[in-house]
Amino acid sequence: MANVAERHDTDARRSGASRTPDLLGSIRRIAGITPDRVLTGYGISSVTYRELAATIEQMIPVTRSQQMDDRAAAVAAVFACLPLLGSESSTAVVASVIDRALAQIRHDAVELDSAMVPRTRTLAERTGEIDLRVIANRLSPA
């Protein structure tokens, strides 16, 4: 039986409701690998990827039922996880916190992707290793 998130993902693909499929996927991947990593904070509160992912799952049915994309669920989740942010009177501060969170998600996703890609050896590295072997063979007594 598919879980709620999978059903919503399938529904969103069918309806085209999700214009930001990578955002939720990135959050889920990061939360799965480093759930206690702090995404952002405001005042004395902070939000981890685990908290954000769990809250987004609660927000998705509401935002999708209103034909909002998944970015709206992520923003709503940040507000839910940082309740004092909702009482901030400066829209510039609120926008800064939200923008910083979304930028951090993108950064962390790129960092995660690059860490998971196996490092390929370049020709120069291979040549250097071959050269070292040749030198070692020449220096060893025959």
Domain chopping of the chain, boundaries: 4-139
pLDDT in tens for each of the 142 residues of the chain?
344 444 444 444 444 444 444 899 999 999 999 999 999 999 999 999 999 999 999 999 999 999 998 899 999 999 999 999 999 999 999 999 999 999 999 999 998 888 776 666 555 555 555 566 666 676 777 5
Backbone angles phi, psi at 47, to 5 degrees: -130, 130
Q: From CA 52, how far away is CA 101, in angstroms rounded?
A: 11
Furthest C-alpha separation in the chain: 81
Backbone angles phi, psi at 38, to 5 degrees: -80, 125
